[in-house]
Amino acid sequence: MRFSRLISVLMLLCAVSFSQSSSAAKPAPGFSIDTIDKSVDPCTDFYEYACGNWLKTAEIPPDQAQWVSFVELHERNMDIARGILEKATAGGAGRNAIEQKIGDFYGSCMDEKAVNSKGIAELKPELKRIDAVKDKQALIDEIAHIHMIGASPLFAFYSSPDLHNADQVIAYIDQGGLTAPDRDYYLKDDEKTKAVRQHFVEYMTEVFNQASKDEGKSETDGGQKADTVLRIETALAKAEMDRTSRRDPKNRDHKMSREEAVSLASNFYLDRYFHDVNAPTFAQLNVGNPEFFKQINAALESESLDSLKVYVKWHLLNSSAPWLSQPYVEANFKMQQALTGQKEIQARWKRCVNLTDRELGEALGQKYVEVAFPPESKARMLKMVDALEKSLDQDIQNLSWMSEETKKQAKVKLDAIRNKIGYPEKWRDYSSVEIKAGDLLGNVQRANEFEAKRQIAKIEKPLDRKEWGMTPPTVNAYYSPPFNEIVFPAGILQPPFFDPKLDDAVNFGGIGLVIGHELTHGFDDQGRKYDPRGNLHDWWTEQDGKEFEKRASCVADEYSSFVAVDDIKLNGRLTLGENTADNGGARIALAALEHMIADDKTGKEGQKIDGYTPEQRFFLGFGRVWCEKRRPEVARMRVLTDPHSPGKYRVDGVVQNMPEFQKAWGCKAGQPMVAENACHVW
């Protein structure tokens, strides 16, 4: 894991984040009434009605774990990026500095022959340095070094806004050091989890043995090494705070002096670590989970130096595996397959486009917006954001359960929300990153190091509020509590979310609802704890806080009753913020549409299209965005790790709470899409 990802987690990424994608060039997955299954009663199961025909014909491509509009769009964006990158790679002497960076980076990734002929050669010096370590104090130097080049053993170190003074960035240390996506993979003992764990051990065994062979050693003790790593990571997992508890920022709020943090876990040699990574001087830092450091301190005592070396080597091998020779790439993919069910590895060009986006995203992004983001899109988005903000303002003012005092504070917070649309006004400067043709692993490590240094340099500096947490081609959007801002990259501003050729009703059900969703995050169970400046500060009266919790519990209980896959139910508390945002977003987006219809003197906005009223088209547009197929493996993974509900419940879970929906479709009490106890927060 890279430093930047750790930062993203703290910024509360919304919607679904996809680092992977699939097959040949296709048109945008636009809105069409052909996806509707008219044999289904919309009041019985609206998702089945809106997506039924899509579900009958759509197939998950073999190189995908799931198929949904986000992934379809990501495919299109990758085709565009591929064209840019191939041109930049072939470009010759006429290239500018940005084209040289992204072209040579992508070219080094595509040169599979060179990558295969090198085997593990480029990692050998790193592995030798770990072998040469004489004591546990010196091992922290190696951990610091590999943190900088892109792996993340043992714990996390990063910079982020101070929870109580968001204008200032401070240092953070936190739990970390796992290979699997969640602590539950180490702790649960059901058959499916045990099978994934077995795959994990096989993956490690294969990679360790291959590495020994490539290093010219005769050892075949990969199995023992794998057991060592599993034992250490299980200890880390036991000490970790679970994902649902971490949703509450108060559980991660532990600012202390540097001395206190260092003495909390003397076996981590944190002072030496901070020196190694060249961190600016700081007197205080935040420790995300102090218990983790206390518990692991004992584990570091009981594990031998040799075992710890094996563990650190594993993290280096695992993070490098996709960019090494074929045996490592295949072993790594088999692990991904066990977790997600994906049938085939993606074509190399797709992996290389994604890697370029990850490592040099704002360089590739500059070229991407030149070809894929017309200025008119930004103007129309600004208008919609404005309409949605007004709508949320009215919604809050009309709430019966909130006092005037808290409403006044909520308005201050809403007015302070900034928005970012398309791409950053100031691009990141990659001129100090050396990108060499034919040196893939070196390029990846140098790009990672550039990013790590950039993150560390922010410590004890004022927050740069112009910075973006996503790259422009990303099909996603987010709200950030410390920044108190909503952000929409260019990548999502296209069909089926946003189609300039279609009526407002469909667009309000698509991107309008996404805007409403992100705005609502400022007021969900997590976001409401932050004030307009982005500080963790309670601006609610005690009574209003209780009223909020009561209504949020209704949402948590509702979604906890939904079955995600097999007999596994959704975690209503893990998904509470996203479900609250979906419900609030739908309500305020529809209200904004109703205003537009009322204000339209021509009467055009209120007309039926294809036989559907604007309200019906709003809900159909919403449904289309979430038509989705998932392989069972990835469905199981997401129940544990994803704060978002599966597509079916993002739609049905919302509409059954809405009298507006029931009116639009003529649903009657007792039908499944008419909840007996409808939940209503915003």
Within 10 angstroms of residue 415's Cβ, the number of other Cβ atoms is 10
Residue 52 or 481 having the CB closest to Zn ion: 481
Residue 120 or 513 having the CB closest to Zn ion: 513
Residue 285 near residue 172, CB atoms below 8 Å? yes
- Identified catalytic residue from 582, 594, 615, 633: 582
In sequence order, which residues have a C-beta less than 8 Å from that of residue 479 and are 6 or more positions away?
12, 14, 485, 486, 487, 518, 519, 521, 522, 527
The interaxial angle of helices 404-416 and 375-397, nearest 10 deg, is: 170
Query: Is the bond preceding 496 in cis, omega lying within 30 degrees of 0?
Result: yes
Taking the complex as a whole, how short is the minimal distance between the CB of residue 262 and Zn ion, in angstroms? Answer: 37
Question: Both ends of the chain: CA-CA distance in Å?
Answer: 36
Taking the complex as a whole, how short is the minimal distance between the CB of residue 15 and Zn ion, in angstroms? Answer: 6
Residue 446 or 521 having the CB closest to Zn ion: 521
Residue 107 or 481 having the CB closest to Zn ion: 481
Strand 485-489 to strand 418-422: parallel, antiparallel, or no bridges (unpaired)? parallel
Would you state the torsion angle of the CA atoms of residues 347, 348, 349, 351, taken in this order, to the nearest 10 degrees?
Answer: 100
Give the whole-angstrom CA distance, residue 430 versus residue 450.
8
Q: Phi and psi at residue 254, in whole multiples of 5°?
A: -140, 80
Residue 14 or 85 having the CB closest to Zn ion: 14
Establish whether 370 is a catalytic residue.
Answer: no
422 backbone φψ class: left, alpha, beta (φ>0; ψ -120 to 50): left
Residue 111 or 578 having the CB closest to Zn ion: 578
Match 């963790």 to its residue by tokens.
536
In sequence order, which residues have a C-beta less than 8 Å from that of residue 198 and are 6 or more positions away?
none
Taking the complex as a whole, how short is the minimal distance between the CB of residue 272 and Zn ion, in angstroms? Answer: 39
Would you state the torsion angle of the CA atoms of residues 215, 218, 220, 224, taken in this order, to the nearest 10 degrees?
Answer: -80
Taking the complex as a whole, how short is the minimal distance between the CB of residue 557 and Zn ion, in angstroms? Answer: 20
Stretch of 14-22, 91-99, 524-532, 629-637 lying at the interface with Zn ion (CB under 5 A): 14-22
The edge-to-edge listing of strands for the beta sheet with 418-422 is 418-422, 485-489, 478-480
Two tokens, residue 569: 């139910």
Site string for Zn ion, 577-616 (x = CB under 5 A): -x--x-----------------------------------
Taking Cα atoms as reference points, which of 672, 676, 158, 18 lies closest to residue 458? 158
Residue 521 CA to its chain's centroid (Å)? 15
Stretch of 8-16, 185-193, 257-265, 664-672 lying at the interface with Zn ion (CB under 5 A): 8-16
- Identified catalytic residue from 162, 499, 518, 578: 518
Would you state the torsion angle of the CA atoms of residues 245, 246, 250, 252, taken in this order, to the nearest 10 degrees?
Answer: 130
Residue 331 near residue 205, CB atoms below 8 Å? no
Residue facing Zn ion at closest CB distance: 14
Establish whether 518 is a catalytic residue.
Answer: yes
The interaxial angle of helices 440-457 and 136-149, nearest 10 deg, is: 100
Stretch of 7-15, 110-118, 131-139, 632-640 lying at the interface with Zn ion (CB under 5 A): 7-15
Taking the complex as a whole, how short is the minimal distance between the CB of residue 436 and Zn ion, in angstroms? Answer: 39
Coil vs helix vs strand at 297: helix
Residue 84 or 655 having the CB closest to Zn ion: 655
> Does residue 14 bind Zn ion (CB under 5 A)?
yes
Residue 317 or 486 having the CB closest to Zn ion: 486
Residue 181 near residue 641, CB atoms below 8 Å? yes
Taking the complex as a whole, how short is the minimal distance between the CB of residue 134 and Zn ion, in angstroms? Answer: 48
| Subset of residues 307 to 366 that bind Zn ion, contact rule: CB under 5 A | none
Taking the complex as a whole, how short is the minimal distance between the CB of residue 219 and Zn ion, in angstroms? Answer: 47
Taking the complex as a whole, how short is the minimal distance between the CB of residue 16 and Zn ion, in angstroms? Answer: 9
Query: Tell me, what DSSP letter sits at residue 64?
Result: -
Q: Phi and psi at residue 655, in whole multiples of 5°?
A: -65, -30
Stretch of 10-18, 99-107, 202-210, 431-439 lying at the interface with Zn ion (CB under 5 A): 10-18
Residue 381 or 581 having the CB closest to Zn ion: 581
Residue 265 near residue 294, CB atoms below 8 Å? yes
> Does residue 487 bind Zn ion (CB under 5 A)?
no
Give the interface size with Zn ion as a residue count (CB under 5 A): 3
Taking the complex as a whole, how short is the minimal distance between the CB of residue 681 and Zn ion, in angstroms? Answer: 14
Site string for Zn ion, 545-584 (x = CB under 5 A): ---------------------------------x--x---
Catalytic residue numbers, as ranges: 518, 582
Residues in contact with Zn ion by CB under 5 A are: 14, 578, 581
